[in-house]
Amino acid sequence: MAEIEKDFRRSVVYQIYVKSFCDSNGDGLGDLPGITSKLDYLATLGADYLWLTPFYPSPQRDNGYDVADYCAVDPRYGTMGDFDELVAAAGERGIGIMLDMVLCHTSVDHEWFRRACAGERRYQAYYILRDGRGSSGPGDPGEPPTNWECAFGGSAWRWEPRLGKWYLHMHDPSQPDLDWTNPEVRAACADVVRFWRERGVRGFRFDVINLISKPEVIEDVPGSGGACRALVADGPHVHEYLRELVERAGIDGMVTVGEMASTDLENCIRYTRPEDHELSMSFSFHHLKVDYAGGDKWALADPDISALRDILRSWQEGMQAGGGWNALFWDNHDQPRAVTRFGGREGIGERGGSWEHVGKMLAAMSFLMKGTPYVFEGDELGMTNAGYDSIDKFDDVESKNAYRMLLERGATREEALDVVNERSRDNGRTPMQWTAEPGAGFTTGTPWLAVPATHALVNAEAEVGVEGSMFEYYRRLVALRHASDVVALGDVRFLDAGPAAPRVIAFERTLGEKRLVVACSFDGASCELADLGCDGMPVLLGNYDGVPAAGVLRPYEAVVWGEA
């Protein structure tokens, strides 16, 4: 097995949504052998690690993030032998496998929860159980213990008659939260991570890991609302629990990343400082809420680029000052496609349209900031939102709940569908677009989720090896991340693009005598750029053909000045 690059600062992680990447047997679902069949494609791109979303046995109420067995492979995705083959074949290409660990909650179908419901007190202590408010005694549920609401809408508590208790679920009711105050739970979770490490896994992504430590007193959220994620996030013992997990599982020094819900800068510095021995890097999501009207995901607004700039500056410069490390991304399996989101709606699949310029501009910004870039499957092709014509084509439970909520608030079906098309998590879950053929080359059968019509123009067959394509642009950025010290290691500082460029984000990277200047326009019109101190510097990279005009950025233009 080839040696795999360990320096996460120079690495690029490629996220694979297993269900949607490549189907090897025609059943309409992606699988592990399908991933193995595409390793040469991923090696051509230059990926260092492949983050695989959950492929464990699951009832699929939340697309695999409701885990029924942490140490097995769901037969719909293959066998443990298929997994071992994938690890070995990836290693031969210098690619490490990174697994998704969902340790905040289990499925109700997990053996631990089933045994708890069967009356075993040992396993009842694995979960957060409470009596109902106003209950008259055993058998009377009363009301939920608090006013907490779960992430998908509705109460965060579910009455379970077999337990005679309410259990906490921060996400879907089928996902009861684990009680990390129980040492046995913490030990069991470390055993899970160790199991996969010993099987050859080279990195781990931890799902909503900053929600594992609940408040020591569980009580109502103040006010009339019950949104409780901010109350639960970064809880009193979370850093202690993470350090213990890392030590027990033997993963200190491996590439690790935490998904941090409703977090803050101070905690993410602590999560990712090397001296604290917690994680390599963290995902935060504040920059992907700049188009939420009034903070409501399901209320549409144009992206606030001023707010985006402030957030990126705060996290880039703040993590740098504190010794932390960012995971850099625009898309994942829980987000709509950024190309659509930030203006790439014209000329899809063709050279010269906003689709091409937005996609390349976003890629340049992500790869050239300080942190480790993540490519979500299809980003490198410029995949777009699905644009479904019916709510029946959606699969995501959150999206269906939101559609119903919007109708209840008075929206028409057309208005509700428009909102869901913009915001649905299914936008990031549509099948990977390999070819222009029916099924997009993803499957010979019926895909589990409808393929967007854009696959006829946006697909790997049309882009790999084609000069000027989105794929080849990403490939160049990956190579730059690998080779350039200033990109991988340099300091970052944001620059003022000037009053005539309010929708431009500019920054510099410096290392010793080396300096890069990056300017990225989120504007659909040309704009004048202030002096960024790059006169006489060569153009290293751009997303338009030819030399950029002096002092002007064209619509959605990205320009990088300097020498790598």
Q: How many CA atoms lie within 13 A of 553 on its CB side?
A: 32
* Co-location of 451 and 495 in the same domain: no
* Co-location of 292 and 248 in the same domain: yes
Closest to 257 in 3D by CA, of 319, 328, 153: 328
Q: How far apart are CA 60 and CA 175, in angstroms?
A: 11
Domain CATH code at residue 544: 2.60.40.1180
Q: How far apart are CA 195 and CA 202, in angstroms?
A: 12
Contact 311, 288 (CB under 8 A): no
Q: Which residues pair with 508 in a beta bridge?
A: 493, 517
* Co-location of 206 and 339 in the same domain: yes
Answer yes or no: is 272 within a domain. yes
Indicate the pairing of strand 157-160 with strand 203-206: unpaired
* Co-location of 163 and 22 in the same domain: no
Q: Which residue matches tokens 């993963």?
A: 251
* Co-location of 284 and 206 in the same domain: yes
Indicate the pairing of strand 255-259 with strand 327-328: unpaired
Answer yes or no: is 525 within a domain. yes
Domain CATH code at residue 83: 3.20.20.80
Closest to 477 in 3D by CA, of 352, 358, 346, 374: 374
Q: Which residue matches tokens 């909102």?
A: 419
Contact 530, 501 (CB under 8 A): yes
Q: Which amino acid is at 252?
A: D
Structurally, how many domains does the chain consist of? 3
Domain assignment of residue 517, given as a range: 491-562
10 Cβ contact list (under 8 Å, min separation 6):
48, 481, 482, 488
Residue 541 phi/psi, 5° resolution? -160, 145
Q: How far apart are CA 448 and CA 403, in angstroms?
A: 20
DSSP state of 551: T
For the chain, 564 residues long, the average pLDDT of each consecutive 10-residue run is: 68 98 98 98 98 98 95 98 98 97 98 98 98 92 96 93 97 97 98 98 98 96 85 97 98 97 97 98 97 96 98 98 98 97 96 96 98 98 97 94 96 98 98 97 98 97 98 98 97 98 98 98 97 95 92 97 94
Q: How far is CA 189 from CA 27, 134, 246, 295, 336, in A?
A: 32, 35, 11, 34, 31
Q: State whether the Cα torsion 176-180-184-189 is positive or negative.
A: positive
* Co-location of 198 and 313 in the same domain: yes
Answer yes or no: is 285 within a domain. yes
Residue 2 is predicted with a pLDDT of: 44
DSSP state of 305: H
* Co-location of 38 and 163 in the same domain: no
Q: Which two tokens stand for residue 484?
A: 């350039």
Residue 126 phi/psi, 5° resolution? -80, -15
* Co-location of 45 and 99 in the same domain: yes
Residue 200 phi/psi, 5° resolution? 105, 5
Q: How far apart are CA 520 and CA 273, in angstroms?
A: 29
DSSP three-state, residue 182: coil
Q: Which helix (H) or strand (E) holds 203?
A: strand 203-206
* Cα–Cα–Cα angle for 336, 209, 272, rounded to 5 degrees: 95
Find the radius of gyration of the CA atoms of the chain.
Answer: 23
Catalytically active residues, by annotation? 207, 259
Q: Which residues pair with 168 in a beta bridge?
A: 157
* Co-location of 143 and 210 in the same domain: no
Q: State whether the Cα torsion 197-199-200-201 is positive or negative.
A: negative
Domain CATH code at residue 139: 3.90.400.10
Answer yes or no: is 417 within a domain. no
Answer yes or no: is 436 within a domain. no
Answer yes or no: is 450 within a domain. yes
Answer yes or no: is 380 within a domain. yes
Question: How is the beta sheet containing 96-101 ordered, strand by strand?
Answer: 281-283, 255-259, 203-206, 96-101, 49-52, 13-16, 372-376, 327-328
* Co-location of 100 and 115 in the same domain: no
Residue 176 is predicted with a pLDDT of: 98
Contact 342, 450 (CB under 8 A): no
* Co-location of 468 and 379 in the same domain: yes
Contact 544, 554 (CB under 8 A): yes
Residue 225 is predicted with a pLDDT of: 76
Answer yes or no: is 251 within a domain. yes
Q: State whether the Cα torsion 260-263-266-267 is positive or negative.
A: negative
Burial of 130 (0-12, 13-18, 19+ CB in 10 A): middle
Q: Which two tokens stand for residue 136?
A: 């008259």
* Co-location of 362 and 463 in the same domain: yes
What pTM does this model have?
A: 0.97
Residue 185 is predicted with a pLDDT of: 98
